[in-house]
Amino acid sequence: MKIHKIVTVIGLLLVALFAVAPVAAQEEELRPLLSGEAKTYDTEHFRIHYTLTGDDAVSEDDADKNGIPDYVEQVGEAMERAWTVQVEQWQWAAPPTDGTKGGNALYDVYLQEEEGGAYADGGYDETIVGDNPATSAKETRSSYSYIGLDNNYTEDLDFVSQQDMLNVTSGHEFSHAIQFAYDGVEPLDWLWEATASWAEDEMYDDVNDGNLILESVFKSPDSCQTAYGGEDRVEDDGHWYGLWIFLRYLSESYGPETVRQVWETAAVKDGYAIFDEVLKEKGTTLEEFFQAYSVALLTRDFEEGADYPVLRLEGIAKSGQFTPLDGVGQLGADYVEIKSSGTVSVKLNSNDLSGVLVGIKSGKADVYEMDAHKASIDTARYDQVYLIAMNLQRPVGEEDCAITPYTVSVNTATTAQKPVSQETTTNFEAPQVEELLDPEDYWGDEDYGDLEGDFDEIDAPANLQPGYIPQGYEFAFAYEFDKNEFGTDEEAQWWVPGDGPATILDYYGEDDEDYLSVIANDSPHKTLDAFLSAVDYEAPSTDIQPLGGVKVLVEDWSDDEGVFSSATFIQGGQFIVIEGTVDVEEIAKVATSLIKIR
């Protein structure tokens, strides 16, 4: 079984902090514990949980003096609007009830200090209800869920108002609740965030905060479709979110109800078999659809395409051979401008890629099919000519992503073939070659000296990078450490209870002695309780906290020598310890942010 923890952030600008990935199911679902006395406010379909004290407190402003804070009522209105549009107007499935988990059968929304973010949580073993009674179909993996929203959305935003931020985030997260209602364990990870981002844009067409993340697609169109992004390449950071444009092209081609059909199909199919089924009904295939979509990215052939980013060009091919900077990931595409006069033959040198030529002039785009990876075209007929090199192979998951290399040959030809189709290019703007940013320069890669012991420095795994890091701390490096470096087996079991090396991410503070470490190891224990029993440790009940829906052991080790604390939990089959020279409140924030990433 799998869980999905789905997170969205301010205007989607901070998605780099919140990766979304499936992890092994937890034994139990834990609801958020608010920082003060919990209060509730019920609307027709939702129960809003909030507090007036502590970090999670909402403003007590109450203009109508009805005893309910204005912000809480705003949340209720935004959530009800999401229900009206997505369930009643769009006819998507209503989420199944959780019984009385939140005190009654209404859908639960918790208001917390999320620093402008939000999440939807479900897909645990115990939350899977099987068939969703709200639909006539027979689901087998429907899951109830709950939502966490920020307690104010007052972060410094210059591109969207607080109300708009609340509206689009409520629409985004409620879309996740509906996705859980169809299939709580769908493994095609990008589909979760792409759908929710599509839904918020569809609901609030004039806000357009989702346009901000489209650069992850338009500036990195050759990225593997299942890649979350932001690791090997800066430009595709937040790729799962940016792929809402793939669903936008689907909905503009076949109607918005087609996106609903995708999730109705997800109840019985997994992965790309979903699109095979849906597109078969439309008389096409995923491969044909992807080719048309790739042309649309070039021409920005979307209703609001003029507002979208301009595509990044991989390079310019003249007479002779062109070699790109790299290759193309699965279900990605490279765009190469052909600059050679007269009639030319263009050959894509790769048996594993497919290609088309596109000639553009006077608001029209002619599309030329390639036979045996080759096509001929009279470049004099057009203002611009482009080769689109497409990788039509399907990745199983993010870990399956691979780059397929290629070259392009341009030679003189005697005759030009005829185009197979013509598209409009109302929103076309000629793409340019843009140099890719260096990830090390962009994200930072400082030298903090040598470590003692045997270790292998590695790239920091995205699912081990907390979204929150205490002020003054910066990432130093990631590495693998042998279990024996932690001491005896009895000592090592507190950090590395499983076999194999530990993966460690170190963050250093402003003072030489300040540090924060994230330590992860494959866990032989399924739950935190099982680990504590195995090491015969009886933790005080006050040290066990439900953070982000996961049971966490949070301990304060501070003494006369200084502040020190740790957080220990098991998630996604990994045993994770976060420890460092920060207090328990800070370590809990770090742990919560990491749990939401995973």
| Complete DSSP assignment for 521-558 | EE-S-SSHHHHHHHTT----GGGEEEETTEEEEEEE--
**For the CA atoms of 251, 252, 254, 255, what is the dihedral angle to 10 degrees?**
60
The enclosing H or E element of 83 equals: helix 70-83
Tell me how far CA of residue 109 lies from CA of 40, 65, 214, 304, 533, in angstroms: 10, 23, 28, 33, 34
CB 475 within 8 A of CB 505: yes
**For the CA atoms of 540, 541, 543, 549, what is the dihedral angle to 10 degrees?**
150
CB 193 within 8 A of CB 239: no
Helix, strand, coil percentages for the chain (3-state, nearest 5): 30, 25, 45
The confidence score (pLDDT) of residue 597 equals 73
Instruction: Select from 373, 357, 355 the least CA-distant residue to 365.
Output: 357
13 is written with which tokens?
């600008």
CATH topology of domain 312-433: Jelly Rolls (2.60.120)
Instruction: Select from 275, 308, 591, 314 the least CA-distant residue to 464.
Output: 591
C-alpha–C-alpha distance, residues 581 and 569, integer Å: 19
The DSSP secondary-structure symbol of 570 reads E
C-alpha–C-alpha distance, residues 464 and 7, integer Å: 15
CB 453 within 8 A of CB 485: yes
Whole-prediction pTM value? 0.76
The confidence score (pLDDT) of residue 477 equals 87
Long-range contacts of 521-524 (CB under 8 A, 24+ apart): 521/483, 521/495, 521/496, 521/497, 521/574, 521/575, 522/498, 522/573, 522/574, 522/575, 523/497, 523/498, 523/570, 523/573, 523/574, 523/575, 524/497, 524/498, 524/499
Q: What is the 3-state secondary structure (H, E, C) of 350-396?
A: CCCCEEEEEEEECCEEEEEECECCEEEEEHHHCCEEEEEEEECCCCC
- Rg (the chain; Cα; Å): 26
CB 4 within 8 A of CB 181: no
C-alpha–C-alpha distance, residues 222 and 326, integer Å: 9
The confidence score (pLDDT) of residue 486 equals 74
| Residue listed under structure tokens 């912000």 | 71
The answer for residues whose C-beta is within 8 angstroms of residue 58's C-beta and 6 or more apart is: 50, 51, 52, 69, 71, 72, 111, 151, 152
Instruction: Select from 241, 100, 136, 122 the least CA-distant residue to 181.
Output: 122
The confidence score (pLDDT) of residue 15 equals 35
The confidence score (pLDDT) of residue 452 equals 45
314 is written with which tokens?
């991989």
CATH class for the domain made up of 446-597: alpha beta
Instruction: Select from 558, 563, 467, 560 the least CA-distant residue to 513.
Output: 563
C-alpha–C-alpha distance, residues 19 and 8, integer Å: 9
The confidence score (pLDDT) of residue 400 equals 86
Bridge partners of residue 598, in order along the sequence: none
Instruction: Select from 271, 255, 232, 7 the least CA-distant residue to 117.
Output: 7
Q: Per-domain residue ranges for the chain?
A: 2-21+35-206, 312-433, 446-597
Inter-axis angle of helices 189-203 and 162-182, nearest 10: 130
C-alpha–C-alpha distance, residues 426 and 365, integer Å: 10
518 is written with which tokens?
């994230």
C-alpha–C-alpha distance, residues 350 and 546, integer Å: 52
CB 232 within 8 A of CB 47: no
CB 186 within 8 A of CB 192: yes
User: 184: number of CA atoms within 13 Å, CB side?
Assistant: 29
In our burial notation (b when 16+ CB lie closer than 10 A, e otherwise), range 231-252 reads bebbbbbbbbbbbbbbbbbbbb
Tens-binned pLDDT, residue by residue, of the chain (598 aa): 223 333 333 333 333 223 232 233 334 567 888 999 999 999 999 999 999 999 899 999 999 999 999 999 999 999 999 999 999 999 999 999 999 999 999 999 999 988 777 888 887 788 999 999 999 999 999 999 999 999 998 865 666 888 999 999 999 999 999 999 999 999 999 999 999 999 999 999 999 889 989 999 999 999 999 999 988 899 999 999 999 999 999 999 999 999 999 999 999 999 999 999 999 999 999 999 999 999 999 999 999 999 999 999 999 999 999 999 999 999 999 999 999 999 999 999 999 999 999 999 999 999 999 999 999 999 999 999 999 999 999 998 888 899 999 999 999 999 999 999 998 899 999 999 999 998 877 776 444 333 444 456 788 888 899 989 999 999 988 988 887 777 777 778 889 888 878 999 999 998 878 999 999 998 888 889 888 988 888 888 889 988 888 899 999 998 878 899 999 999 888 999 999 999 999 999 999 999 887 6
- The reply to whether 312-433 and 446-597 are identical in fold is no
Q: How far is CA 391 from the centre of its chain?
A: 22
Tell me how far CA of residue 470 lies from CA of 387, 446, 503, 509, 583, in angstroms: 47, 18, 21, 9, 10
